[in-house]
A and B are shown apart, each in its own frame.
Chain A
Amino acid sequence: EAGVTQSPTHLIKTRGQQATLRCSPISGHTSVYWYQQALGLGLQFLLWYDEGEERNRGNFPPRFSGRQFPNYSSELNVNALELEDSALYLCASSLEVGTGANVLTFGAGSRLTVL
């Protein structure tokens, strides 16, 4: 069974540009989560999508946005890039929602560097 796949692996952009990151969840998983992991720091929750709808959002500005497609894949868009957006962006998927035993399965991440 294929795991959570993310692309691209690495992305280099300059300030003010837009970045698009993509995620394919585990087959059968309907929920997709995005996290930001800045260098040396922890996991900051960005967005949660389920059944094509944005269900929850972390404490990030509106220039962080995304969507989930009918096949449950997702993309994360970051507009007007700033230097501090440089980070590892992790996508995770899960099957069950609200069961109390919800396991997140993470992808390997996309490393975004803003110059």
Chain B
Amino acid sequence: QQQVKQSPQSLIVQKGGISIINCAYENTAFDYFPWYQQFPGKGPALLIAIRPDVSEKKEGRFTISFNKSAKQFSLHIMDSQPGDSATYFCAATPGEASKIIFGSGTRLSIRP
């Protein structure tokens, strides 16, 4: 019940395409859903986050879609660029940072 299931494990997208990463959760106590981006040799960095009271949040080319009834949320990267190649982690927390649960990660590669 504490898991956050993330898919796919790896993803290859052509430059200019749309990258989509999906996550699902079970615990209805989760109320904050951040996405982290990690480049090789670096630590993860917060990319975008959403609360369950909205169905979508957009920041530039990055959009989170949230389906509360299905307990699913996804990251969409529009006009994907080679610089977007990184590992992406979805996460969920009921409030306390120490209770953040991370997904298993998606390795995204954007082909030029």
Contact = CB atoms under 8 A, between A and B. Distances in A.
Contacts of A94: 97
A97 B98 CA distance: 9
Chain B contact patch, size range: 20 to 34
Nearest to B104: A42
Chief secondary structure at chain A's binding surface: loop
Interface in B11-51: 31-32, 34, 36, 41-46, 49
Nearest to A4: B43
A2 B46 CA distance: 16
A41 interface: yes
A59 to B, nearest CB: 11
B98 to A, nearest CB: 4
Interface of A: 4, 31, 33, 41-43, 45, 48, 55-56, 90, 92, 94, 97-109
22 contacts: A4-B43, A31-B98, A42-B89, A43-B44, A45-B98, A48-B97, A56-B99, A90-B44, A98-B95, A100-B32, A100-B94, A102-B32, A102-B96, A102-B100, A103-B34, A103-B97, A104-B100, A106-B36, A106-B44, A107-B43, A108-B41, A109-B43
